[in-house]
Chain A
Amino acid sequence: SQQGEEDPQALSIQEGENATMNCSYKTSINNLQWYRQNSGRGLVHLILIRSNEREKHSGRLRVTLDTSKKSSSLLITASRAADTASYFCATVFSGGYNKLIFGAGTRLAVHP
């Protein structure tokens, strides 16, 4: 399966703490994207990192990409209760219609 893996599957932290989620994938990619999904809702695009980039920031989000290890991490700093959601990485593989393949996701719970 092309689908990547994410760990941890679930993460529970207190407000103010940092949350780190990891994503691994199996084949060469064009880019990797992180999405957020609140329970029963659609997806919100958080950040895209290209294969030739190593780190990217957006507000409290920091994404790293290590293509040699085929892995990425998403760091949310100073977490808030409103950050409670599921987070998915998705990769775009070369060829075809440049479709997104999603990882298994990490369910993050931030407690006040």
Chain B
Amino acid sequence: GAVVSQHPSWVICKSGTSVKIECRSLDFQATTMFWYRQFPKQSLMLMATSNEGSKATYEQGVEKDKFLINHASLTLSTLTVTSAHPEDSSFYICSAREGREGPNNEQFFGPGTRLTVL
């Protein structure tokens, strides 16, 4: 149980195009989903927190118009990188948390999406 999937697993796009990444909780309902980005050999940096049916909360320094997050259902959140540029190339990872928002509730991570912008 507690499986989170991401699609696509990798994507290559041209500069200026938009890319959508999906994050799905396959066997549980995710009240909250998180989006992270990770540069090579670096740690995960939290980009935003999204709760189903409400606007995402972005971390300081993350452009909300650049990284559009939609959490329309309890099993799906999407991250759209708009007008992508080479500096947006990164590994994007989502996580999902089920149940109540207790601090000890585990987050389950997706396998990640590698974005390369040419």
Contact = CB atoms under 8 A, between A and B. Distances in A.
Contacts, number: 65
Contacts of B42: 104-105
A41 interface: yes
A30 B43 contact: no
Interface size class of B (residues with CB under 8 A): 20 to 34
Given A3-B43, A97-B32, A41 B106 contact: no
Interface size class of A (residues with CB under 8 A): 20 to 34
Interface in A28-68: 30-31, 33, 35, 40-45, 48, 50
Contacts of A14: none
A104 B43 CA distance: 5
A73 B43 CA distance: 18
Contact of B105 (A88, A94, A98, A102): A98
Interface of A: 3, 30-31, 33, 35, 40-45, 48, 50, 88, 92, 94, 96-105, 107
